[in-house]
Amino acid sequence: NAGVTQTPKFQVLKTGQSMTLQCAQDMNHEYMSWYRQDPGMGLRLIHYSVGAGITDQGEVPNGYNVSRSTTEDFPLRLLSAAPSQTSVYFCASSQNLQGEYYGYTFGSGTRLTVV
Amino acid sequence: DAKTTQPTSMDCAEGRAANLPCNHSTISGNEYVYWYRQIHSQGPQYIIHGLKNNETNEMASLIITEDRKSSTLILPHATLRDTAVYYCIVRVGNYGGSQGNLIFGKGTKLSVKP
């Protein structure tokens, strides 16, 4: 029972480089999302997906792309990294149930530094 | 989503109950109250949620006032490992586009002291 797996755990990028942060879950959750957390701040929603083939923007989507080709995977792409994207990134998933809600499961995070 | 107000920080003695308050005076009738916590730099962890009745699980109890404008998370016997940032969040229970998302504030930093 791996839960939500994020890779890599740490990454240093140069300004202008691109990269993909990976997120995979093995719980057959339909809902997945990406958050970023800056020092001393709460989490801010970047993008989310309510199922394979369906994605939408959150609070801070600029500079990030996502896709959801399978239920298990929800990668986050930085096309041209900027120092302002230095942050800790968390992926989360949840069952998509009618009615009551059972809580998000978060990954352990990817710590990204853009120099 | 309704906004929540939490104290920035709180202290609690080890072994005592920790009572974390949250105000959500503009909560709507179909919005639930959720609590998460984040220990050091880990990903947030779900604790408990409720609509209008008090709730209890193995981690904590949630007390919601009758008018639903405020709530209290209770950790009955706090330990040093409960030191964390605690987030109170309100949102609708059903998924429905952006209404299904969790919006985090800054939370309450709880320090449990020996």
What is the per-residue pLDDT across A41-90, written as a single tens digit (0 to 9) for each? Answer: 889 999 999 889 999 999 899 999 999 999 999 999 999 999 999 999 99
Give A93→chain B minimum CA distance, Å: 11
Residue A6 has pLDDT above 80, yes or no: yes
Whole-number Cα distances in Å, A107 to A15, B2, B20, B99:
26, 26, 25, 22
Q: How many residue pairs bridge chain A and chain B with CB atoms within 8 Å of each other?
A: 64
Residue A99 confidence class, pLDDT cut points 50, 70, 90: very low
| pLDDT-flagged residues of chain B (< 50) | none
What pLDDT score does A97 carry? Answer: 43
Whole-number Cα distances in Å, A20 to A9, A23, A66, A98:
12, 10, 9, 32
Note whether B95 contacts A44, CB cutoff 8 Å.
Answer: no
CB A107 within 8 A of CB A43: no
Give A107→chain B minimum CA distance, Å: 6
Nearest CB to A101; choose among B32, B43, B105: B32
C-alpha B53/C-alpha A11 separation (Å) is 44
Residue type, B96: G
What pLDDT score does A96 carry? Answer: 65
Note whether B103 contacts A59, CB cutoff 8 Å.
Answer: yes
Note whether B95 contacts A50, CB cutoff 8 Å.
Answer: yes
Chain A contact set for B6 (CB, 8 A): none
- B48-56: long-range contacts, CB 8 A cutoff, minimum separation 24: B48/B73, B49/A101, B49/A103, B51/B93
Mean pLDDT for chain A?
91
CB atoms within 10 A of CB A26: 13
C-alpha A28/C-alpha A10 separation (Å) is 26
